[in-house]
Amino acid sequence: MALSLTILGSSGALPSIGRFPTSQHLVIQNRHCLIDCGEGAQMQLARYQLSLHKIEHIFISHLHGDHYLGLMPLLFSMHLHKRASDLHLYAPAGLDEIILLHLKYSRSVLNYKIIFHVFNPTQARLIMEDEAISVHTLPLLHKLDCAGFLFREKIKPRKIDKDKLQPGMKLQHLASLKKGEDIFDEQGHLLYLNRDFTLPPRPSLSYAYCSDTAYYEALLPQIAGADLLYHEATFLECDIGKAQETRHSTAAQAGQIAHRAQVKKLLIGHFSARYKDLNLLLTEAQKHFANTELAIEGKNFSLTD
């Protein structure tokens, strides 16, 4: 799978039987990421047989406890399991101080290095990039400065048209053709025109994660056309007053955002503990955007290119 998302937690701030606070495990182009890390995240990783050793990047949207209080136990477990590889941690200012205080007063020194990447959640910025993917922050509208994350695959290599292969073609020729290059001999004469031997690259996929936020139209340009959108849906429309007070969204508003952004699929989560029947929220969102699913514990959403 080019992109695989497993939901570890779907609950809002208050505990609810059978639900865990927000956390998600994302694999994109073989990069293993954790998005938010609510209480019990490492137990959920174990439950769904997701290796904590493979996690390379952790993204924390904001410093409300239900989004990061599972982090220190996870970091200590990585230490006890003799992790040696670096861990990249992306978060607003302050989380680095919190972690260092824990280490200071527990007199602990981790076996591995944490590389902190501090971002300003009020600004849309590129915070991670390599040859295969990029990650941008998505400024949200919440009581505490908060950012979502847009994960996007880069343009993929062109595909070799196997029916057009010719005798004498070398492996380095094929590698260059995949990059979109034409092939010339040492005298500068054209050997192979790229468009004659390749097919267009596979589509690049994107995942937009919008954690705690009120209805926020400023998001629309950044998430437009996303293959997969997660948007919080803490309340039903009948409780919109509570949503406005706490700067959260209703399920209907999540559906409206998905519809206006013309995304391909919507996932909703961060459900208030007051709702026992989550299908009420699902139905409300689907009135505005039919291709909506509940982002509940253990559900996996996979996209192929």
CA distances, 72 to each of 98, 135, 279 (Å): 9, 24, 33
Active-site residue, selected from the candidate residues 66, 145, 227, 239: 66
Query: Would you call 66 a catalytic residue per the annotation?
Result: yes
Residue recorded with tokens 């971002």 = 119
Rounded to whole angstroms, how far apart are CA atoms 292 and 153? 23
* Angle of helix 71-80 versus helix 95-105 axis, rounded to 10: 50
- By the 10 Å C-beta count (0-12 exposed, 13-18 middle, 19+ buried), 18 is classed as exposed
**DSSP strands (E only) in the chain:** 3-9, 23-28, 31-37, 57-59, 87-91, 114-118, 126-129, 133-139, 147-153, 159-160, 183-184, 190-192, 198-199, 206-210, 228-232, 266-269, 292-294, 300-303
Closest by CA to 273, choosing from 50, 8, 17, is 17
Residues annotated as catalytic are 66
